[in-house]
């Protein structure tokens, strides 16, 4: 996939169709209303240096508009008449000389298929007219403290106008309650973007396997991953975990500073983000040698657990079924290797296997690495989400054995996770990251390319 053709960027009408669906839901639920969705604020890293900018995912989902300081307003009256409005930064040639291009309201309206667009400064003045006497306001709550404060203050000032016959929206609800269920089902554009992110990510893992040698520092392997991501116009979707030896047993290890020893396992959890869509992949391989017998036992066990997960993934299956499949296989394997006591039912009942496998087997994946969407529903979470075609998730069983005294030395510091990204199809699954090698033979062959 050296020069894979990038999928087409969805056009403005595509985002508009998503907005129409949200408006339709709002109309059916509340008889109209107003959506106010801000994008993410810019964040300082230190002094006057900003972090690279990334839009808020729901805002992106509804607009595709990439700039900070923007709010979208979608309104729907009782008759179902809708307005799609964008508030964004104005053109400013001086600022553009320093910081780069800005669409400005006119070009943004056209490009992203809004009915109207105004400078962000106009929101303050227009907000009362937009919100007044609406049955509902849908906006993120508890996402950005400044936005929460703004909303509360604006609601207060609308309430003060009650004597003039104006009322604030009768209810305020979190817009994500309506958006998250939409985001759980990926359309063909999203799937194309995710396939692209997955393919580049798989290639980055291959590059890392070919490159890694004893005495390399973990950050040097991270540099290889970054090279592959950046060369394809993407960036890391989350801080890469490049964890060798004992670090492989630290689930969120990201400092990546250790020098790698011959015979260490190297666990790499890294994925790129392409046009805001993430891949999330983990591969584990031995550096400078073949797998030791104990490393291979654990690696094959995790592979078997992942296969069991794949078998449990199909339309109609409850979300957590594949996690339970992973637990069964891993717990039985740990019993067979005498890491925990049997029988299997007792190990599952007591959770003794969690000493070596303590996380879930996967999560929704999309615009966010841990993507929007519910896993259970009902008052007490008693109704599991059932899998349906179009959903995308990770499948990532693992096993992590620290150097504890009661564990045979051969198993010390073996941390293995194998993580792939999967699309639920009408017949089962499509593994988006299948080109990242993972059988023992494939992995050893790639590592041997760098003697």
**What positions carry a catalytic annotation?**
48, 252, 269, 280, 359, 363, 370, 396, 400, 417, 419
Considering CB distances under 5 to 8 angstroms, the limit depending on partner class, which of Mn ion, ligand GLY, none binds residue 228?
none
Who's near 395: CB < 8 A, 6+ residues apart?
A: 306, 309, 310, 313, 322, 361, 362, 419, 420, 421, 422
Which of these, 359, 357, 332, 326, lies nearest to 347 by C-alpha position? Answer: 332
Q: What does residue 440 show for φ and ψ, rounded to 5 degrees?
A: -55, -45
Phi (first) and psi of residue 141, to 5 degrees:
-120, 130
Q: Which is nearer to ligand GLY, 224 or 396 (CB)?
A: 396
Q: Are 250 and 269 in contact (CB under 8 A)?
A: no
CB of 232 to ligand GLY, least distance (A): 19
Of positions 190, 224, 269, 371, contacts ligand GLY by CB under 6 A: 269
As measured in angstroms, the least distance from the Cβ of 238 to Mn ion is 7
DSSP SS3 for 310? helix
C-beta of 65 vs 299, nearer to Mn ion: 299
By CB under 6 A, residue 222 contacts ligand GLY: no
Partner in contact with 56, chosen from Mn ion, ligand GLY, none, beta carbon below 5 to 8 Å by kind: none
- Based on the shown chain and the rule CB under 6 A, indicate whether residue 375 belongs to the binding site for ligand GLY: no
273 makes contact with ligand GLY (CB under 6 A): no
Q: Tell me whether residue 63 or residue 284 sits nearer to ligand GLY (CB atom).
A: 284
Select 118 or 327, whichever has its Cβ closest to Mn ion: 327
Shortest distance (Å) from residue 362 CB to ligand GLY: 8
Per-residue x/- mask for ligand GLY, residues 394 to 423, rule CB under 6 A? --x----------------------x----
Beta carbons of 412 and 403 less than 8 angstroms apart: yes
Query: Which residues 277-306 are close enough to bind ligand GLY by CB under 6 A?
Result: 280
Comparing C-alpha atoms, which of 15, 6, 110 is closest to residue 60? 15
Nearest Cα neighbor of 237 from 346, 61, 366, 127 is 366
Q: Is 371 in the site for ligand GLY (CB under 6 A)?
A: no
Q: How many residues contact ligand GLY, by CB under 6 A?
A: 7
Longest pairwise C-alpha distance within the chain: 81
Per-position x/- string for 345-364, each x denoting binding to ligand GLY as judged by CB under 6 A, each - no binding:
------------------x-
Q: What are phi and psi of 430, to 5 degrees?
A: -120, 120
Q: In angstroms, what CA-CA distances link 192 with 6, 81, 260, 331, 437? A: 9, 33, 36, 36, 21
CA–CA separation, 413 and 265 (whole Å): 8
Which entry of Mn ion, ligand GLY, none binds 238, CB below 5 to 8 A by partner kind? ligand GLY
Residues at the site binding Mn ion, with contacts judged by CB under 5 A: 269, 280, 394, 419
Q: Nearest distance from residue 369's CB to Mn ion, in Å?
A: 7
Bond into 343 cis (ω within 30): yes
369 binds ligand GLY (CB under 6 A): yes
Q: What's the Cα-to-Cα distance from 326 to each of 82, 141, 207, 248, 335, rounded to whole Å?
A: 47, 35, 28, 19, 14
Smallest gap from Cβ 271 to Mn ion, in A, equals 7
Q: Please say which residue, 63 or 256, places its beta carbon nearer to ligand GLY.
A: 256
Task: Say if residues 216 and 292 touch (Cβ distance below 8 Å).
Answer: no
CB 118 within 8 A of CB 133: no
Least Å distance between CB 280 and Mn ion?
Answer: 4
Tokens of 152: 């509360």
Instruction: Tell me if 422 sits within 8 A of 432, measured CB to CB.
Output: yes
User: Choosing among ligand GLY, Mn ion, none, which partner's interface includes residue 224 (Cβ < 5 to 8 Å by kind)?
Assistant: none
- Least distance to ligand GLY, CB of residue 148, Å: 28
Instruction: Tell me if 65 sits within 8 A of 108, measured CB to CB.
Output: yes
Check residue 238 for interaction with ligand GLY (CB under 6 A): yes
SS3 state at 178: helix
User: Which CB, 256 or 394, lies closer to Mn ion?
Assistant: 394
Interaction of residue 217 with ligand GLY, rule CB under 6 A: no
Nearer to Mn ion, 114 or 319 (CB): 319
Least Å from the CB of residue 31 to ligand GLY? 40
| Partners of 414 in the β-ladder | 401
Q: Name which of 269 and 297 has its Cβ closer to ligand GLY.
A: 269
Binding region for ligand GLY (CB under 6 A): 238, 269, 280, 363, 369, 396, 419
């Amino acid at each position: 996939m050296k020069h894979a053709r990038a999928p087409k960027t969805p056009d403005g009408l595509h985002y508009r169709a998503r907005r129409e669906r949200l408006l339709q839901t709002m109309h059916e639920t509340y008889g109209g209303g107003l959506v106010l969705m801000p994008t993410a604020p810019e964040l300082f890293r230190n002094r006057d240096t900003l972090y690279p900018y990334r839009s808020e995912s729901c805002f992106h989902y509804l607009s595709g508009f990439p700039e900070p300081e923007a709010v979208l307003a979608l309104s729907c009256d009782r008759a179902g008449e809708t307005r799609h409005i964008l508030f964004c930064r104005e053109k400013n040639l001086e600022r553009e000389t320093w910081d780069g291009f800005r669409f400005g309201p006119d070009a943004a309206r056209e490009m992203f298929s809004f009915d109207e667009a105004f400078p962000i400064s106009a929101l303050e003045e227009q907000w009362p007219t937009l919100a007044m006497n609406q049955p509902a306001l849908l906006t993120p709550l508890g996402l950005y403290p400044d936005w929460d404060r703004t909303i509360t203050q604006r609601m207060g000032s609308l309430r003060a106008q009650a004597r003039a016959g104006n009322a604030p929206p009768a209810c305020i609800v979190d817009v994500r309650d309506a958006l998250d269920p939409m985001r759980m089902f990926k359309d063909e554009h999203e799937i194309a973007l995710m396939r692209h992110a997955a393919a580049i990510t798989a290639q980055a893992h291959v590059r890392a396997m070919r490159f890694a040698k004893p005495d390399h520092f973990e950050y040097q392997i991270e540099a290889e991953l970054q090279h592959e991501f950046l060369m394809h116009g993407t960036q890391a979707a989350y801080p890469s975990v490049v964890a060798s030896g004992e670090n492989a047993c630290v689930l969120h290890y990201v400092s990546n500073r250790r020098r790698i020893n011959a015979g260490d396992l190297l666990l790499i959890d890294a994925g790129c983000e392409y046009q805001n869509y993430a891949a999330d992949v983990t591969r584990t391989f031995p550096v400078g040698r073949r797998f030791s017998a104990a490393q291979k036992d654990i690696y094959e066990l995790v592979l078997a657990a992942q296969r069991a997960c794949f078998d449990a993934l199909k339309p109609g299956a409850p979300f957590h079924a594949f996690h339970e499949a992973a637990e069964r296989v891993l717990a039985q394997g740990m019993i067979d290797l005498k890491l925990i006591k049997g029988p299997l039912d007792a190990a599952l009942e007591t959770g003794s296997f969690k000493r070596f496998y303590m996380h879930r087997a996967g999560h929704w994946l999309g615009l966010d690495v841990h993507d929007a969407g519910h896993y259970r529903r009902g008052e007490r979470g008693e109704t599991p989400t059932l899998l349906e075609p179009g959903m995308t998730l990770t499948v990532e069983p693992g096993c992590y054995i620290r150097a504890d005294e009661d564990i045979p030395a051969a198993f010390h510091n073996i941390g293995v996770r194998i993580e792939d990204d999967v699309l639920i199809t009408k017949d089962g699954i499509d593994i988006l990251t299948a080109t990242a090698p993972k059988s023992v033979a494939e992995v050893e062959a790639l590592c041997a390319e760098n003697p």
